[in-house]
A and B are shown apart, each in its own frame.
Chain A
């Protein structure tokens, strides 16, 4: 192939690298009103009154909006296809505030200083309510977080809102109890992953203005332009046809921008004032008033016979969706299905879950979307199982994992076309030097190096729901325009989709022009999330190009000749990954650093191996952050305690050791040029692989993230007997 499977530079690379003005805030109109939001200082309260008299006296203030000024129509900000599985539990501004950071008033003025001053002069009186901060105590708590009568769910998600239960459900295949009774070894443990912040470098931001026809234009840094159009129409109570959404270059998303966050505030101001308005979240707001990964507590029961055949897996997840249900009912499913499916030789599997509301910031979408949490739990349990069986953890996996051709009950009954996971494990084993290094090597009297491993899968789009379209058109001079609605957020999808078009049309890359998304001009696409773009939108591009080729063959080539196609996949073929960590632990302090992380990935055909490699390296490093550093916590009053890069430390380049990536590519027949997804699977293995290495170094199992030096050291101290014998000398 000439362009596909080539490490071609991104088409926007040099403009990004030379700092051109291409992001939302760079393009905002100069005369935008500055929009800021007054946020609740209380975790749970009902607003008695908001007095704006003093605030509106500030010179330069244009308007201050409160719950009295917003449409009374509940909605969800989750960027999902309609009908969204997330409950309609929000208003733009509500009289009830449900977490520290919930918006109470939207202030707009001609300068930041004026707005800052006005915000301080808004007087709010409250009835304070007893907040629910602990997800373990949320169910049937005497405080009901969503007592409102107009709360709405679109379908059966196991919701019992008066019990603070956002969603619940179960799945099983086979008779688990019967299988457990045949097991000679059973691991039964609870694993706890914390909320994490996506921490993309460009915070949430958007601006809006009325166009020549009086329609509302929203320009936003988003992964979901078309969902923004629909949801904004609902929230603002205007027809969808009255809104146009434009997506400029996006400075990272990782799921954070799969939810509406900033859009509605300036949009409402523009609607009320008829003036352009802009809101840029600061970093603290991005931490405290957007969405995070769902905190989960996952109980895993897994049993095997003496020979190491895994017979039964049982997972029970408690997920904390925070104050609102964005992505709550859906993320939780992945914590079970996308973990258990790996072990398809098991005779019986069972998965049960509950998603609860608490008075903390709403959780949402973050790369991995529940699978990351489930993988930490199940892969850790499998490593514990190998220990009990005294079996090499890689052997245990090779014995039990799914294979090409398997029909996987836990994976919604899908048949797996392409699974080179054994080859991934084998290659990674060689790259890390497993046979030399497992389980540990003592490199000085106080330092030890150890290795650990984990495997993972994800999906490629949401079957039958994700829908993408593409249009190619011949232009004068013989180049092509490629119109797509998928949202490049730095991932490079504009480039790889152009690569597919060039390959299909048999032309050079410079003959393909890709436009960024404008809902008035771009063909419909559900958006860039759920690892869908390469696989789903890619297929739409291929189909459109094939159609255009047929037309060219039939009619010859001339300007305005065009073809369109839409694609939706009935299946979601999983990409796979084997991850291996080597850590160095300082036994005197517990300080633990990743020396090397090896990832071997199957994403089917990598459309652009350079970009796929960087996706993988980036995902691994985010995973290392989750494993060792990143921790969203709340104080006893429900205020988030780490709301800046000073307190919430994402990995710097000194924190991550070496990351090495290889591909073990299968060919997925349902994907474009044999491709599957890559964006999410790559974040799943670091936490369990590092936890495993920590165990191999020190004989302790850490089942809660992040695994800090202090936890390691204090656990070591308590469990000294568990130390590997060599350390006792």
Chain B
């Protein structure tokens, strides 16, 4: 009698545990499906568990679980895929896939800002790198060294973000573009400062960390902008707009570092900067490039702001 009741208690416990576990596993299904069929599936599983455990014992729940779990994984994947497809189709049909005038304007402004910042950064690099005057200045001020590195790394990160614009414009699959961007990121890192790996491993790792952080944060901000733009734009224009936002974010860091660096360095080595004098005038190419980069970035930010402003809000 006692053995019987103990057996039945063990069975009840095993079934209760199975049900709790299955209830948790049901989270694998999309919310809508779970809401409609979750309770019914629980009841079917409960009945099945009870019948199996009564007929064949508690251990027979193991093959039942194996079958149920594989069924759950397979059907949950199919359901998720279907929801993804439906969502995609809904977005595609609801919003225009072609680029609006505002988006073209934002895209052009972003590319111009990128090119100008790149020229300003390259000018800084050519002027200062391996110059004894600046090397001496770097030894005196660590902020100067750091701002120089940030200018360089942010220019590289902006290059990766520009690749994101091209990727989203040409390929519609986010997973494919993300994988491509990760590969580009690694290539740019090794081509940009891979030489450090041989001479100063720790410096290389620090640079890689800063570069990765800059790139990933900018792409993340771009993703947030894409999510917002999806409310009134199709998948592709929204993704391109998000990538433009990524570029502008990293360019903002680039220009801020550029300004900071120039202001810090100029009093120390004025003679060096005067090498970049244009013709017979007192105009300094570095300062002009920096000013244009700043203006281009402001223009880019305004155009992006317009593009991210939903049409309904504009009209109201």
Asked whether A and B interact, the reply is: no
